[in-house]
Chains A and B, each alone.
Chain A
Amino acid sequence: MKGIRGISQLSKRFYAATRSGQSLALPLAGLKLSPGAAHSYQDVHVTRLPSGLVIASLENYSPASKIGVFVKAGCRYETNDNQGVTHLLRLASNLTTKGASAFKICRGVEAVGGSMSVTSSRENMSYTVDCLRDDIDTVMEYLINVTTAPEFRAWEVSDLTPRVKMDKAQAAQSAQISIIEALHAAAYKNTLCNSLYCPDHMVGDIESEHLHQFVQNNFTSARMALVGLGVDHSVMKQVGEQFLNIRSGAGTTGAEAQYRGGEVRLLSTSSMVHSAVVSQSAAAGSSEALAFSVLQHLLGAGPHIKRGSCASSKLVHGVAKATTDPFDVSAFNASYSDSGLFGVYTISQAAAAGDVIKAALAQVKAVADGGVTAADLTRAKAQMKGQFLMSLETSEGLLETMGTQALAEGSYCSHEEISKKIDNVSLTDVANAAKKFVSGKKTMASSGNLAKTPFVDEI
């Protein structure tokens, strides 16, 4: 009876009253913590299983959990025969698996209010589910099914063709996506030149067999990482040992990316010209790559204030002197496991395109020639750290960081270590990076009305 229960809780209520002066945000007074205890409750735990699978998890006591399976199965691992298979794989994540039908997966995940998504980049593919803490077991089952035991039934795969076309049509609407895909296609001879989207000649030709083979060769334990937010590490280890050991071995090793440097011009009637000029930078994980990142922020990596004037961007300053028409310019930086691209991305009016590109490149040359002050460098480092740390604020960003680090290195560097590494980048590193860009073989991709846009050998 409620009344009697209330009476028995009187003593508890009075106990709470005596502690009313205690703030909940501060540690309890008079409680001795061991030195390691202060940070241990919210650490990222990383384990590498004997099969090669890396498990990383962080218990952040959040009411919602996020689990991701990261696989080294980006579009760089596509071969000549199965170009576009990763695009199909992205769309095929809700198809029937050995343990659950397509309907069951959809209904099961929706019944617990969760969501499932697939993200693929050129290097990795990540399957993510999020749900409430208590429903992890349910959605984990579906995630494991999708990543380890898909059936790719022929009729279900052929039903994906209209969705492929829809995806491609939507991607074609975005000039940035077209430029970036064209840029990579022009810059590399193999692996990294593959597009995130299925090429036109393969639409409708990717079959269940291709998908099965790609999964067989690339979804192996040594190339996978299981990452969780708001989950218990021991639970993840159990799942990893029991279920993600289906395919052992290292799978097919990708070829080394070969940079060639070329040009792609996508003519259209648009009055806005998008153009990217890049050259090869450094592989991710090296200190050179960090220098290129700092250089990117030094030059200007996008707006920090909505509808602001980008006062801190060198590129914007330089280009503003060359034209009065509306424009946008930012530094472009992409690092992959064995190569990277660095350069400038400009958006300008068709008539002023040439001036804008030349002005932007002149700015980079100025940095290479030593026109950078220490204040600029500090500002750039602060902006880079700020952007990185703010991206860790969201659970998606945090999961992606943990996943890519787990895949690339098998360990997790805390944000303090990374901030320190950023701080250690010196002026000379940045200047050398700029010099490497200026002297390297350029790749260029442009789209729009290209009458006044220079060719790559004219810039």
Chain B
Amino acid sequence: MMSIAARSGALSPYMQATKHTIKGLLAAGQLTPAAAPGMVRLAHTDIKIPDFSDYRRPEVLDPNKSSQDSSEARRTFSYLVTGASTVVAVYAAKTVVSQFVSSMSASADVLALSKIEIKLGDIPEGKNMTFKWRGKPLFVRHRTEKEIAAEEAVNLAELRDPEHDKDRVLNSSWVIVLGVCTHLGCVPIANAGDYGGYYCPCHGSHYDASGRIRKGPAPLNLEVPFYEFPDEETVIVG
């Protein structure tokens, strides 16, 4: 039994040569106690692992307790905190980005120009007033009873762009339309034409008192913008 005979005695470690291929942290470099003439210390046994207890959670401070008992709780806590922070961060990012992007939209002074407030008391019956609104002419016409009745009685079948009068006005005594001919964009003349409404001199389009096309090359009725009556005397268009 070579193992007994050769391993005994002080010189047995010199009878074989060992090479550590991959050394674990506590690799066996120590000789068997009874056979070694003294201690053989590897340099690696001097390395002290630093004490991280300042950074540890209280559940894993004790080195003799298994860390698996608290692992679920620790993991849940970490994941929850991460999840919540992610949600908050995403929300903050979205806010910042949308603020930067919306800064490129129209500024307040431009937006202010987008509405016009008109005092209706200044316009007598039968009169059409023109205002500049968003760079285009805006017709505000105070209609007479006769005109209203006439417009409401029109048969939709004979209209090129059939629209009933009450679909085009909120308050039938006031007609508010854009003064842009739907043919090629000229400005029609008020109180002119064969139908008692508007007449476009460029190509001869006749509109009635509701702004609908009756004769001529224009395909569509005059555009009705969005407007509202905050009270009896004023209208805000846009």
Tell me the A residues contacting B by CB distance below 8 Å. 87, 90-91, 93-94, 105-106, 109-110, 113-123, 130, 167, 171, 174, 176-177, 180, 196-197, 284-285, 289-290, 292-293, 296-297, 301-303, 306, 330-337, 340, 345, 384, 386-388, 390-391, 393-397, 400-401, 404-405, 408-409, 413, 418
Chain A residues with CB under 8 Å of B8's CB are 293, 296-297, 301, 333, 384, 387-388
Chain A residues with CB under 8 Å of B18's CB are 117-119
| Residue of B2, B23, B27, B32 with most partner-chain A CB within 10 A | B2
The answer to whether B4 touches A93, judged by C-beta atoms less than 8 angstroms apart, is no
CB-contacts of B180-198 with A (<8 A): none
The answer to whether B21 touches A337, judged by C-beta atoms less than 8 angstroms apart, is no
Residue from B14, B19, B22, B28 in contact with A90 in the complex, judged by beta carbons closer than 8 Å: B19
The answer to whether B34 touches A180, judged by C-beta atoms less than 8 angstroms apart, is no
Chain A residues with CB under 8 Å of B9's CB are 296, 301-302, 330-333
Extra inter-chain contacts (15) besides given A387-B34, A395-B28, CB under 8 Å: A91-B19, A106-B22, A113-B25, A115-B27, A120-B16, A176-B11, A197-B17, A284-B1, A284-B6, A289-B5, A293-B5, A301-B9, A301-B10, A401-B3, A408-B1
The answer to whether A114 touches B5, judged by C-beta atoms less than 8 angstroms apart, is no
Chain B residues with CB under 8 Å of A120's CB are 16-17
Chain A residues with CB under 8 Å of B15's CB are 121-122, 180, 334
| Residue of B10, B20, B21, B33 with most partner-chain A CB within 10 A | B21
State the CA gap A94–B18 with chains docked (Å): 14
Chain A residues with CB under 8 Å of B16's CB are 119-122, 196
State the CA gap A109–B28 with chains docked (Å): 15
The answer to whether A330 touches B11, judged by C-beta atoms less than 8 angstroms apart, is yes
Q: A114-B22, A333-B9, A384-B8 are in contact. Are A119 and B27 (CB under 8 A)?
A: no
B74: interface (CB < 8 Å):
no
B35: interface (CB < 8 Å):
yes
B164: interface (CB < 8 Å):
no
Q: A196-B17, A296-B9, A336-B2 are in contact. Are A115 and B34 (CB under 8 A)?
A: no
The answer to whether A404 touches B32, judged by C-beta atoms less than 8 angstroms apart, is no
Binary A-proximity of B134-150 (CB < 8 A = 1, otherwise 0): 00000000000000000
For residue A106, which residue of chain B has the nearest CB?
A: B22
The answer to whether A390 touches B19, judged by C-beta atoms less than 8 angstroms apart, is no
State the CA gap A122–B33 with chains docked (Å): 23
B7: interface (CB < 8 Å):
yes
Chain B residues with CB under 8 Å of A94's CB are 21-22
Chain A residues with CB under 8 Å of B10's CB are 301-303, 330
B24: interface (CB < 8 Å):
yes
Q: A119-B16, A176-B14, A330-B9 are in contact. Are A388 and B4 (CB under 8 A)?
A: yes
Residue from B1, B19, B32 in contact with A396 in the complex, judged by beta carbons closer than 8 Å: B32
B204: interface (CB < 8 Å):
no
Chain A residues with CB under 8 Å of B37's CB are 302-303
Chain B residues with CB under 8 Å of A167's CB are 17, 19
Q: A119-B17, A386-B34, A394-B32 are in contact. Are A284 and B5 (CB under 8 A)?
A: yes
Report B79 CB to chain A, min CB distance, Å: 19
For residue B2, which residue of chain A has the nearest CB?
A: A284
State the CA gap A290–B1 with chains docked (Å): 8
State the CA gap A87–B25 with chains docked (Å): 25
Q: Lowest 10 CB-CB distances: which A-B pairs, in order?
A: A302-B10, A115-B24, A121-B16, A335-B5, A284-B2, A404-B3, A301-B9, A116-B21, A390-B34, A119-B18
The answer to whether A334 touches B1, judged by C-beta atoms less than 8 angstroms apart, is no
B63: interface (CB < 8 Å):
no
State the CA gap A330–B8 with chains docked (Å): 11
CB-contacts of B17-59 with A (<8 A): 17-25, 27-28, 32-35, 37-38
State the CA gap A333–B35 with chains docked (Å): 13
Report B17 CB to chain A, min CB distance, Å: 5
The answer to whether A90 touches B23, judged by C-beta atoms less than 8 angstroms apart, is no
For residue B13, which residue of chain A has the nearest CB?
A: A176
The answer to whether B33 touches A390, judged by C-beta atoms less than 8 angstroms apart, is yes
Residue from A90, A117, A332 in contact with B11 in the complex, judged by beta carbons closer than 8 Å: A332
The answer to whether B32 touches A390, judged by C-beta atoms less than 8 angstroms apart, is yes
State the CA gap A388–B2 with chains docked (Å): 12
Report A368 CB to chain B, min CB distance, Å: 19
For residue A127, which residue of chain B has the nearest CB?
A: B21
Chain A residues with CB under 8 Å of B23's CB are 115, 117
For residue A332, which residue of chain B has the nearest CB?
A: B11
For residue B18, which residue of chain A has the nearest CB?
A: A119
State the CA gap A401–B32 with chains docked (Å): 12
Report B33 CB to chain A, min CB distance, Å: 6
State the CA gap A185–B5 with chains docked (Å): 20
Report B7 CB to chain A, min CB distance, Å: 6
The answer to whether A405 touches B17, judged by C-beta atoms less than 8 angstroms apart, is no
State the CA gap A337–B22 with chains docked (Å): 30
The answer to whether B3 touches A405, judged by C-beta atoms less than 8 angstroms apart, is yes
| Residue of A113, A333, A408 with most partner-chain B CB within 10 A | A333
State the CA gap A296–B22 with chains docked (Å): 36
The answer to whether A333 touches B5, judged by C-beta atoms less than 8 angstroms apart, is yes
Chain B residues with CB under 8 Å of A117's CB are 18-23, 27-28
For residue A301, which residue of chain B has the nearest CB?
A: B9
Report B12 CB to chain A, min CB distance, Å: 9
For residue B36, which residue of chain A has the nearest CB?
A: A302
Chain B residues with CB under 8 Å of A333's CB are 5-6, 8-9
Q: A387-B34, A394-B32 are in contact. Are A109 and B5 (CB under 8 A)?
A: no
The answer to whether B1 touches A404, judged by C-beta atoms less than 8 angstroms apart, is yes
Report A327 CB to chain B, min CB distance, Å: 14
State the CA gap A257–B20 with chains docked (Å): 30
Report A261 CB to chain B, min CB distance, Å: 20
The answer to whether A115 touches B2, judged by C-beta atoms less than 8 angstroms apart, is no
The answer to whether A93 touches B24, judged by C-beta atoms less than 8 angstroms apart, is no
For residue B17, which residue of chain A has the nearest CB?
A: A196
Report A415 CB to chain B, min CB distance, Å: 10
Chain A residues with CB under 8 Å of B33's CB are 390, 393-394
State the CA gap A409–B17 with chains docked (Å): 23
Chain B residues with CB under 8 Å of A285's CB are 1-2
The answer to whether B24 touches A114, judged by C-beta atoms less than 8 angstroms apart, is yes
For residue B7, which residue of chain A has the nearest CB?
A: A391
Q: A174-B14, A302-B10, A396-B32 are in contact. Are A418 and B21 (CB under 8 A)?
A: no
State the CA gap A109–B15 with chains docked (Å): 28
